């Protein structure tokens, strides 16, 4: 009887081990004070920051969604890592939390070193920008489960916030200003619809449109961390699945409406192209970010601080509406 090995089944442990050193170097580039033990153990360890009176741990997880199909086909592996990281980190900071660390998970049929390194490099890049550590991760080789060349990726982010400084919308008042911070395009939501439009030929993006489809989700963490030192923030929202309508009111409670003024912000070209295929504008607003990747709600006299801080961090921002008595809805005027 011939000898059988794990490699014969499609799992190359030696190839995975060979990548560990490169993973380690990327993770080490994100290390911050408090990281213990380095990379390579069965778990990562990090100390809580000193000086917190009542620290609250926050956590979230997310992936890239079906945008991943387009990224894999075009070998945009680092973008996949950045997307997965941003989807977690941007959510994390809406509560006012400081990112502590991330973990990454990559599952594939057969290990492709270039793809794996690209994904982890994307995570490391955004962890560096967010000020959190890439504390560890998992690469799972699963032959027969994923087709050749395919993979899935997910991120897990953990942060900390002082209990009395949690931002959850409790201080929102009628008349508060709603400031929208620009996206660079579609980010990572709505791609099942996008892919259907691409597949039937009704959507044929321009070169700029493709950039706005496939560019990595913007990381808003540096902006938010700077803003919290300058302004009295009442609520924040990351515009993801469910689009602008599904996310803008998530933290203002059920006695207030978010009233947005259409045409008060820039509408990226790709959304106009999608709309021309026959997608109605309200459907656009409930599916995509439509040009606003992040929402900040502040007392009216603080809106200038948000816009100025966003500009200093390289983002466009606009006053796009206000809060009004209501029932927890998003109302868009001027459609």
Q: For domain 177-333, is the CATH number 3.30.1320.10? A: no
Distance CA 281, CA 271 (A): 10
Q: Quote the Cα angle for 44-45-50, to 5°.
A: 150
Residue pair 306/317 in contact by the 8 Å Cβ criterion: yes
Instruction: Please state, in angstroms and as integers, the Cα–Cα distance from residue 289 to each residue in 13, 294, 305, 325, 331, following that order.
Output: 41, 9, 23, 24, 15
First to last CA, the chain: 73
pLDDT tens digits, one per residue of 220-275: 999 999 999 999 999 999 999 999 999 999 889 899 999 999 999 999 999 999 99
pLDDT tens digits, one per residue of 289-298: 999 999 999 9
pTM higher than 0.95: no
CATH code, residues 9-165:
3.30.1330.10
- Judged against a pLDDT cut of 70, whether residue 7 lies above it is answered with no
Q: C-alpha 308: how far from its chain's center?
A: 23
Distance CA 283, CA 65 (A): 19
Phi, psi angle pair for 2, to nearest 5°: -70, 150
Give me the chain's average pLDDT, please: 90
Q: Are 9-165 and 177-333 in the same CATH fold? A: no
- Domain positions in the chain are 9-165, 177-333
């Amino acid at each position: 009887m011939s000898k059988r090995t794990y490699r014969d089944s499609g799992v190359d442990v030696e190839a995975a081990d060979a990548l560990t050193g490169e993973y380690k170097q990327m993770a080490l580039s994100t290390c911050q004070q408090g990281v213990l033990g380095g990379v390579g153990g069965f778990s990562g360890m990090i100390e809580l920051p000193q000086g917190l009176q009542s620290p609250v741990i926050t956590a979230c997880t997310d992936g890239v969604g079906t945008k991943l199909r387009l990224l894999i086909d075009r070998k945009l592996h680092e973008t996949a890592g950045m997307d997965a990281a941003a989807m977690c980190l941007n959510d994390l900071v809406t509560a006012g939390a400081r990112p502590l660390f991330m973990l990454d998970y990559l599952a594939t049929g057969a290990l492709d070193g270039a793809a794996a390194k690209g994904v982890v490099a994307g995570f490391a890049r955004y962890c560096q920008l967010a000020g959190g550590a890439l504390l560890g991760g998992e690469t799972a080789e699963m032959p027969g489960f994923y087709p050749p060349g395919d993979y899935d990726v997910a991120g897990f982010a953990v942060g900390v916030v002082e209990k009395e400084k949690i931002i959850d919308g409790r201080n929102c008042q009628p008349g508060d200003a709603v400031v929208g911070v620009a996206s660079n395009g579609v980010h990572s939501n709505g791609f099942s619809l996008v892919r259907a439009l691409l597949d039937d030929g009704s959507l044929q993006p321009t070169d700029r449109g493709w950039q706005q489809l496939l560019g990595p989700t913007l990381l808003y963490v540096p902006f938010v961390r700077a803003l919290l030192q300058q302004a009295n923030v009442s609520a924040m929202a990351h515009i993801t699945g469910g689009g602008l309508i599904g996310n803008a009111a998530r933290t203002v409670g059920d006695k207030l409406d978010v009233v947005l003024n259409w045409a008060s912000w820039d509408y990226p070209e790709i959304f106009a192209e999608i709309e021309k295929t026959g997608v109605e504008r309200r459907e656009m607003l409930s599916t995509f970010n439509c040009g606003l990747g992040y929402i900040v709600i502040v007392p009216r006299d603080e809106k200038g601080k948000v816009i100025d801080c966003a500009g200093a961090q390289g983002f466009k921002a606009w006053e796009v509406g206000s809060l009004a008595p209501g029932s927890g809805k998003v109302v868009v005027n001027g459609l």
